[in-house]
Every structure is written in structure tokens, then in C-alpha cells.
Amino acid sequence: MPGTRAARLLRSAASVALALLAAACSKPAPPATESPDGPHRVVALAPSMTDTLVALGLADRIVGVSDYCPDVGTTPPPVRVGGLNNLNVEAVLALRPDLVMSVQNPGDRSLVAFAERGVALYTDDPQSLAQVFASIEAIGARFHRGERAQELTRTLRERLARVEKANAGRPRPRVYVEVDAQGPWTIGRNSFVRDAVAAAGGDNLFDDVASPYPTVSEEAVATRDPDWILLLHPRDVAFEQRGAFARLRAVREDRVIADLDRDLLLHSSPRLVDGVEALAAKLHAR
């Protein structure tokens, strides 16, 4: 009878599924236990986290990184485990990490998946320069390297102070930062990129916008007539074709910066200070 056959098939399929489920549940994946000197098998899911670990001399602790992360110079190199919207949770778990670090919200689905399996999480997402330093120190503390981290932030603060001293008395140029030509997409008051521009001796053109990364009208850019244009995307043919926009004073006077490593300014890591120094050098070269 076809009915019985179907029922039997269904029953066996169900039992196979149950068996699989049981196998999955009974195979315990105990998280690697953390040693006294902090996590040893770290998966860093943000370039800023990877940068910070490297700066703290912890590169050898990294077993996995995101697709966006820089090379850390260890052999074998850490495993690439995907990006923001295509994170390979399985690959991360297979690395048996004792810490997963991310700038995403801890309630994010993939992070919850780690937490549920007993993997420790470290998340924070700095939105200002002060928070970037706080993050570096917190990560240091997490790895029992609080002193080293404080030494690092002290050095970074000294470097910023040197830039500030060099800029003292100089006029502060108004800088239009373009993250992407599409939009155009710029930065507002509440982003660490804005703080970096300020630290380099410039004033962000859209400090009146609260949103950290707003899209604005070209007309507003043109009317505000920035002293400098900082492009965090390639200056291509499309830029030159942009009608009125391409005739702005900053463009006519060749005050367009397009050769700055965008990662230096767009990642909330110790390298942000490198970005500040590089930008300051450009803004005050003449």
C-alpha cells in the first residue's frame, strides 16, 4: 500500500534526523580553557581588533581573522573566516577559540551562536578617539597586559599631542571627508573619523550632523565650500566628471587628498594615530 510505504519512509527519515540530532548534541565541543595569561586561541572579526592585538604583541595568539583583516605576520597565518555578512560560524568554531572578538553587537546572531557554545566574547565598537583608547586598554586588560596597553595609549596620546603642538596657531582648515562617492557619503559629528580629522588640525565639514556616517547633498558640500577634500575612495574619472562639484575651490586649488590609506582612518585601531599624522602632514604641507 502506498500509504504505508510513505509512512515508513517518513518514519525512517525522522529517525535518521533524530539520530543526527542526537549525534550533534552528544558530541560535546568543550571550549578551550583559558590559560592564566589570557586567551591563546583568538578569532578577531574586525581589522581594528586584529591591529590592536598586533600592537600589543599578541599576534601569535590569533588563530582566525575576518576577510577584511590585515596580515599579522605569523606562520602559519590565521585562518580567514569570512566577513560581516558571510561569517563562517563553523570555521570559527572549528578553530576551538577561547575568545572571539568583534565590533558587532553581542546580540548579533553569529555572536550569539558562539556565546551559546561557551566561547567567550569580547565586543566593543568605539565611536570616538577617547573610546578607541579605552578599547585598546580594555583589550590589554582582557589579556592581562594592562600595563603594556597603557604604555601604548600613552605613546599614542603623546604622538597626538605632538601633532597638536605642531598645529598650534595654524588656521584650522575645513575638511570634507568623502567615504564613498555614491551618496555622497560623509562623516558626521559622532564618529571617530571626525575625531581623527580634528586631531590632525582640521574641522569636519558636517559636524552639525549627529549621524556618524550620513549621506549629504552635493549642494550642501558646494555651498560650505571646504578648504580640503579628503577622499577615502579612489579618485577616478567619475570624480572629474562630477560637474559643479569638480569645480569646487578645493579642487581648483588642488587641495584634494586621495592617496591616504583609507584603512588608517576608517578602523578604530592604534593605527588611527598613523592616519592622524599622515593627514596632518598633508593638511599643513603648505
Partner 1 sequence: MTRVRSLPKLLLLLVALLAAAAAIGLACGPTLGWNEFVVEIRLSSVVLAAVVGAGLATTGAVLQAMSGNPLADPFVLGASSGAAVGVVASYWLGIGSGSPLVFVFASLGAFAAILAVLRIARTGRRMPVQTLLLAGITVSTLGSAVILLYFTLRPYQATTAMLFLMGSLQESRWRFIAMTAAVVVPCVLLGQVVARALNAFAMGESTARHLGVDVDRMKLAFCLLSAAMVGAIVAVSGLIGFVGLIVPHMARRLVGNDHRRLLPACALGGASFLILADAVARTAAAPQTLSLGAITALCGGPYFLLLLRRRSAERDVVAPEPPP
Q: Measured from the CB atom, is 60 or 207 closer to partner 1?
A: 207
CA 249 to CA 227: how far, in whole Å?
7
In the complex, the smallest distance separating the C-beta of residue 218 from partner 1, rounded to whole angstroms, is 5
Alpha helices in 76-199 (DSSP H): 89-94, 109-116, 129-142, 146-167, 192-199
Q: CA nearest 103: which of 143, 66, 55, 49?
A: 49
Look-up: residue for cell 598633508? 282
Q: Is 122 helix (H, G, I), strand (E, B) or coil?
A: strand
In the complex, the smallest distance separating the C-beta of residue 223 from partner 1, rounded to whole angstroms, is 4
Q: Map residues 41-80 to x or -, x wherever contact with partner 1 holds by CB under 8 A.
A: --------------------------xx------------
In the complex, the smallest distance separating the C-beta of residue 221 from partner 1, rounded to whole angstroms, is 8
In the complex, the smallest distance separating the C-beta of residue 186 from partner 1, rounded to whole angstroms, is 9
Crossing angle of the two packed helices 47-55 and 129-142, in degrees rounded to 10: 60
CA 263 to CA 139: how far, in whole Å?
20
Q: CA nearest 229: which of 210, 264, 209, 202?
A: 202
In the complex, the smallest distance separating the C-beta of residue 47 from partner 1, rounded to whole angstroms, is 12
Q: Looking only at residues 185 through 244 of this chain, which bind partner 1 when binding is defined by CB under 8 A?
A: 185, 206, 208-209, 211, 214-220, 222-223, 225, 236-238, 241-244
Site for partner 1 contains 83 (CB under 8 A):
yes
Site for partner 1 contains 12 (CB under 8 A):
no
Q: Measured from the CB atom, is 104 or 211 closer to partner 1?
A: 211
Site for partner 1 contains 15 (CB under 8 A):
no
Torsion 241-242-248-251 (CA) sign: negative
Q: Measured from the CB atom, is 57 or 234 closer to partner 1?
A: 234
CA 183 to CA 284: how far, in whole Å?
28
**Contact yes or no for 53/42 (Cβ under 8 A):** yes
Residue type, 144: H
In the complex, the smallest distance separating the C-beta of residue 191 from partner 1, rounded to whole angstroms, is 14
Q: Map residues 242-261 to x or -, x wherever contact with partner 1 holds by CB under 8 A.
A: xxxx-xx-------------
Q: Looking only at residues 97 through 136 of this chain, which bind partner 1 when binding is defined by CB under 8 A?
A: none
Phi, psi of 32 (to 5 degrees): -60, 135
In the complex, the smallest distance separating the C-beta of residue 216 from partner 1, rounded to whole angstroms, is 5
**Chain positions contacting partner 1, by CB under 8 A:** 67-68, 83-86, 180-185, 206, 208-209, 211, 214-220, 222-223, 225, 236-238, 241-245, 247-248
